[in-house]
Structure 1
């Protein structure tokens, strides 16, 4: 009977996108003409390659549209949630009546029987009435006949992500790149040409002495050279570009004084990746530039 339920979803369901995938996944587990199925959020997320939050939103849309009902009084295998496709069940029941009319000659004006659940049939598929604690059972009304009705109002959900193997949020398909991350605030990526030197990076260049060593024009030239060499790199986050830019500037040669990182007249040197010989040479030149008082 799952084929009839799936066919109804393909032909008559108004759901779209993720909701349609979730609907098809639930219909795939329909066992008989009652169109009752069971599924957990994690299993639906795995089958549809969507996140748990995406599956929740899809189920909410299907419940509001009336194409799906959540049977809170029942539980499926491994305490999974039980659902019913009421419109599909009604279409299947209508098809059965039409076949009966053609074979038995029943009156077409026969009133439509209400859709009820046969609990004994559901038990064969691992779907059982939800157990109620003894203290709560005393306050409940006596059990009725072996038929039940569904409730469309979903049960309150617990907070937190109880599905460790499935991401709480994310893209629908793991193999599909997250196209929105470029425009998100948390994982924004950009190209080297679009990245701009921020106040923090400029302050770093001044505090480390690179601004005094290179000068504004030299720093601008180093920046331009860096952008040319990084033009064919893939987009990266702003933090990654900033770290790469700082490493480039720290290695950039001062105008007219290649491979020197010490500042003339400054007693402290900025090694920044120099070899030992370069560091000694830089210190010597810095000492020669200092006034001795004998001039």
Structure 2
């Protein structure tokens, strides 16, 4: 889905330029920035490898009366590859911290509502650990404070996280050689049917959105993707952050998610008992496009209920 947006960059201490995009809807581009600066901000943090079209329902709803910003991880979208090969979770938290500060500086000075999807859940939680003042409210969608337990997979991996981490390190030299084959599989007409047959995609997953996602994956540097996965597995889990959450929080879980099982998000619910709980039926890990309208409406309703956003564009001042 083509967006109308303004793209800017922040530069990390290692010199890597990180892109962030402010969605401007139908506003004239030369007038958009001053007009949107006074609006309440919502900052969207993606999952690993996820293309920006996963946000299209939330953007379409909120850009009418909010300042909606999404950003690209290192090696994603318009952000550069890391200049020093740093794709650790800590690096992404650093990048989100700088982008949040820029969003505040170019707006009304107030921190944005932080929305994280999949891997973005951990990034947002770690930002809250580090600087809670930058997270006045958060929505956590289909993500976990840790990587899924390999011993609970359909084919259990003996040794759990330790075995997985060692396996990723061992296979790293093979990534450049395996990348062409993976690209062929992603480009194959069988990719979407396989996703459906395996249960990773539900019947209502729009083929066009999944094709766009697969195209973005093919464009991504395979080494960057692999090192991000390693960074996720190597990082300590964020479960200890949850009992200290003191801001309005919304948890959105997909009932049929195979990558982040429902039980993971139910554990989060137990540790943040004041969080609003939303369970999306007939949706998997691609729930942002499978049940996009439902999730977008839930995010807006949460903002209204917690007094941090308008109920509907027609009622916005």
Interval of TM-score (by shorter of Structure 1 and Structure 2):
under 0.3
Structure 1 or 2, whichever has the larger Rg, is 1
Q: TM-score, normalised by structure 2?
A: 0.23
Higher RCO (CA 8 Å, separation ≥ 6 residues): 2
Q: TM-score, normalised by structure 1?
A: 0.24
| Higher share of residues assigned strand | 2
